[in-house]
Amino acid sequence: MTRITLPDGSVREFAAPPTVHEVAASIGPGLAKAALAGRVNGTLVDTSHRIESDAQLAIVTDRDPDGLDVIRHSTAHLLAYAVKELFPDAQVTIGPVIDNGFYYDFSYKRPFTPEALGALEKKRGELAGKDEPVTREVWQRDDAVKFFESIGERYKAEIIASIPAGEPIGLYREGAFVDLCRGPHVPSTGRLKVFKLMKLAGAYWRGDSKNEMLQRIYGTAWARKEDQDAYLHMLEEAEKRDHRRLAKELDLFHTQDEAPGMVFWHPKGWTIWQQVEQYMRDVYRLSGYRDVKCPQILDRTLWEQSGHWENYKDHMFTTASENRDYAVKPMNCPGHIQVFKPDLRSNRDLPLRHGEFRSCHRNEPSGALHGIMRVRGFVQDDGHIFCTEDQILDECVKYTELLHAVYRDFGFTDILYKVATRPARRVGADELWDKAEHALMESLRRSGVAFTIAPGDGAFYGPKIEYTLKDALGRHWQCGTMQVDFNMPHRLGAEYVAEDNTRRHPVMLHRAIVGSLERFIGILIENHAGAFPAWLAPVQAVVASITEAQAPYARDVAQALKKQGFRVQCDLRNEKIAYKIREHSLQKVPYLLVVGEKERQAGQVAVRVRGGVDLGPMPVDAFSRRLAEDVAQRKS
C-alpha cells in the first residue's frame, strides 16, 4: 500500500505505486486534465513519474509558478523540434527557461532571418496542434553519446559526455524529435498553445568567445492568451520608456565606443543626477553618516588581504607603476577600513558610519553593458557601518526603515525582500556565517516584512539582504543591499577596545540604498517615462511669452523664480505659443507659464500643468507657493 499525502493534509492510499497522473485522476477528472507536473517530496517530476513509496505530493497546474516554468521549458523543446523540421542540418545545443520566457541556441550554417521566425512560429503551432505525447526515457551515458553522434548532434553528444559515468541520462521524445533534458515536461504538446518567438541574437557556445558563435532564438510562452497579451503590451510600454531612447529625446546623456560603459552626462541629465545625489547626501547626514573620500587606486597587497584579488580580480581594472601592481577600486569597503584603523576606537564610539559618493570601476563584459543600467564606471551611495556584534540587529532594522522612506520619496512603495546566503566560494568560518545570516533574517522579521531565501547568492565575505523595488510597469529592480561582514575587518586588521578592555574586530555592515546612481537614474527615467516629478525634473517650469512685448516681463518672472531656487527657463522665441506649448510638453516639463499682455498687466502667469491641464492665471507668488509645495512634498 502506497500512501500519498496531499498539501491539505489528506491521505490517499493506492494498492500499487501510482503515477502523478493517477493520483490527480483519483482526485477528479478536472485536475487530471489540468495537471502539468507534480512535486514529490519537494522535487518537480513529470505526471508520468511513478511514486514508489509513501510521499508528499502537490499537483502542479498552470496556476502554479512551477507550472509556467514547465510550459516554457517544454515550449523551448518544441521550438527545437520545429527547427529540426524546417532546418534539418541545424544542431541543437541548450534551451533554458528565463524570466518571462525561454531561449534555445542553435548551430546553423546560415543566419536565421525574421522570416524564418515566422515560419518557425507556424511550424511550432502545427506541432502543438498534433498533441503528441511527451515521454521520458532513461539511457546509459555512452549509449546516449553514440545516439546523438549518429544523428549529427555533436553539441548534445559533448554535453552528455561531460556527465559523470554511471549517471542515468534523461531523454524526452515527442514525435520524431528526441532531446536531452532532466525535465519535467508537459504530458503532451497540445498543452503548448500560447507562445510567441521574440527575437534573434548571437551567443558563444558555453559563453566562451573562443568557441563557435551560435544563433539564439528568444521566445515567450504562457498558460493563457490574456496573460501573454498583457506581457506583450508591457513590452511595448517598456520600449516607449527605454531610458536610452528617452535620454536622446530629452537630451540627458549619451555613451560612445571610445568610453565603453562610461556615461557622458548632458546638463539636464546631470541636474537630475545632482538632485538624486544631494537627496541621498541629506539622508546620510541626517542618519549619522560621515562623508569620507578614499583613493581611486590601491596597491594589490591591500586587495589580496581583503580577498578581492582572489575572488574578484577578473572584474577589476588593474595598472602598474614602478614595479608595483595596483587596482582601480571596484568598491569602497577596503578604503573605509583604512579610514577606521588609524585611531584606536572604543566600543562607545560604535556604531561608526562612513559614507562615500565617489567613482568605482568594474570590468564588466562588453556584451553585458546596457545604457546606464549596466556600466563600468559608476557611483554608489556607498555606506559602511562599523559596529559590535550586539548592534547588528538594531542597525539592520533601522536601515530597512530608512530604505522604505527613501524609496517612498522616489515613488516606489512595493518592495520585495530576499536573503542571499553563503556561496560555495567564500572566506570565514561557518560559525560567523551562521550569525550573519541569522541577524539578517531576524532583522526582516522584526521589520514585519516577508522574505525569500536565495541559497548561495551571498558575497564571498558575507550574506546580504537584497531589496527589490517594483516599477510602474510591474518590473522588478534589485537596488538596495545590506551585507553583514565578520571577515574583512579581521583580514584588514581593524580593531576596537571592548568594554572588558580587550581588542576585538568590529562587524562591518556594507549597505547601499539606491546602489549605482547611474542605474537608479535609469530606473527613474523608465518608471516616470521621462516625466519626472517637479522635485527631480531638470527644468521645473518654462516661462513662455506670446509676443516680444512680454519678453522683459517673462525674464523678470523667470529671474524671480530662479532666486527662490527653482529651475526655470525662458522661451522668448518668435514662435506661435501653440508651438512652444507642444515643444515643452514633449520635453515633459512639469509647468508651463504663459505670459501675454493680460498677464503682464495683472502681474500674473497663466499656468499649464504637464498633461494639458490648464490652471488659468494666478499671481507669480501663488505659483511659486504651489511649486514649493510640490518640491517639499516630493509629489510624483
The pLDDT tens digits of the residues spanning 352-400 come to 999 999 999 999 988 888 999 999 999 999 999 999 999 999 999 999 9
Choosing from 382, 471, 485, 571, the catalytic residue is 382
Q: What confidence category does residue 634 fall into, taking pLDDT thresholds of 50, 70 and 90?
A: confident
Q: Is 454 a residue whose pLDDT tops 70? A: yes
Output the 3-class SS for 156-174. HHHHHHCCCCCCCEEEEEE
Residues with Cβ within 8 Å of 203's Cβ and at least 6 positions away in sequence, in order, are 105, 213, 214, 215, 216
**Active-site residue, selected from the candidate residues 72, 243, 268, 384:** 384
Whether 588 sits among the annotated catalytic residues: the reply is no
* Average pLDDT rounded to a whole number, residues 5-19: 92
| pLDDT (0 to 100) of residue 187 | 96
Identify the pLDDT of residue 6. 93
Cell, residue 600? 503682464
Question: How many angstroms separate the CA atoms of 319 and 300, rounded?
Answer: 10
Q: Lowest mean pLDDT: which of 6-10, 272-276, 365-369?
A: 365-369
- Active site residue: 228, 380, 540, 550, which one? 380
For the chain, the straight-line distance linking the first and the last C-alpha, in angstroms and rounded, comes to 63
pLDDT at 116 over 80: yes
Instruction: Write down the pLDDT at residue 460.
Output: 87
421 to 463, 483, 511: CA distances (angstroms): 5, 10, 16
Q: Give the residue among 444, 432, 357 at the shortest CA–CA distance from 398.
A: 444
Q: Is 333 a catalytic residue?
A: yes
What would the DSSP string read from start to end of 163-214? Answer: SPTT--EEEEEETTEEEE------SBGGG--EEEEEEEEEEEGGG-TTSPEE
- The per-residue pLDDT for 167 is 84
Active site annotation includes 464: yes
DSSP characters over 379-431: EEEEEEEEE-GGGHHHHHHHHHHHHHHHHHHTT---EEEEEE---SS--S-HH
Residue 370, SS3 per DSSP: strand
Q: Give the model's pLDDT for residue 612.
A: 86
pLDDT exceeding 70 applies to what percent of the chain? 100
The three grid cell numbers given for residue 200, joined into one nine-digit string: 534573434
For residue 474, pLDDT over 90 is answered with no
Contact yes or no for 306/491 (Cβ under 8 A): yes
Contacts of 418 (CB under 8 A, 6+ apart): 451, 452, 453, 454, 465, 466, 468
Tell me the β-bridge partners of 346: 497
pLDDT digits (tens, 9 = 90+) for 503-534: 999 999 999 999 999 999 999 999 999 999 99
Catalytic residue among 21, 243, 308, 362: 362
Rounded (10°) CA dihedral 234, 236, 241, 247: 150
- Band of pLDDT at residue 636, cut at 50, 70 and 90: low
**Taking a C-beta distance cutoff of 8 angstroms, is the pair 594, 537 a contact?**
no
Tens of pLDDT, residues 169-208? 999 999 989 999 988 999 999 999 999 999 999 999 988 8
Q: What integer best gives the mean pLDDT of the chain?
A: 93
pLDDT at 210 over 90: no
**535: Cβ contacts below 8 Å, ≥ 6 apart:** 275, 630, 631, 634, 635
> pLDDT for 72-95, tens place per residue?
999 999 999 999 999 999 999 999
From CA 212, how far away is CA 214, in angstroms rounded? 6
- Kindly report the length of the chain: 636
The two most distant CA atoms of the chain are separated, in Å, by 97
517-527 vs 243-250: helix crossing angle, rounded to 10: 80
Burial category of 527 from C-beta neighbours within 10 Å (exposed 0-12, middle 13-18, buried 19 and up)? buried
422 catalytic? Reply is: no
- Cα 558 to Cα 567: distance, rounded to the nearest angstrom: 9
The DSSP code for 60 is: E
CB atoms inside a 10 Å sphere around CB 29: 9
How does strand 194-204 pair with strand 177-180? Answer: unpaired
Residue 224: CB atoms within 10 A of its CB come to 11
CA angle 282, 241, 533 (to 5 degrees): 35
Q: Strands of 205-271 (E only): list them.
A: 213-222, 253-254, 264-265
What residue type is 285 in one-letter code?
A: R
Instruction: Give 539-571 pLDDT, tens digit per residue.
Output: 999 999 999 999 999 999 999 999 999 999 999
**Residue 412 to residue 404: CA distance in whole angstroms:** 9
- pLDDT category at 264 given cuts 50, 70, 90 is very high
Average pLDDT over residues 611-631: 94
For the question of residue 384 being annotated catalytic, the response is yes
All three cell numbers of 603, joined, read 502681474
What band does 347 get if pLDDT is binned at 50, 70 and 90?
A: very high
Tell whether omega for the bond before 267 is within 30 degrees of 0, i.e. cis.
no
- Rounded distance, CA 372 to CA 393, Å? 34
Decide if pLDDT at 597 tops 70.
yes
pLDDT digits (tens, 9 = 90+) for 126-171: 999 999 999 999 999 999 999 999 999 999 999 999 998 888 899 9
Do the Cβ atoms of 499 and 347 come closer than 8 Å?
yes
Is 630 a residue whose pLDDT tops 80?
A: yes
**Least confident piece of the model among 101-105, 116-120, 366-370, 571-575:** 366-370
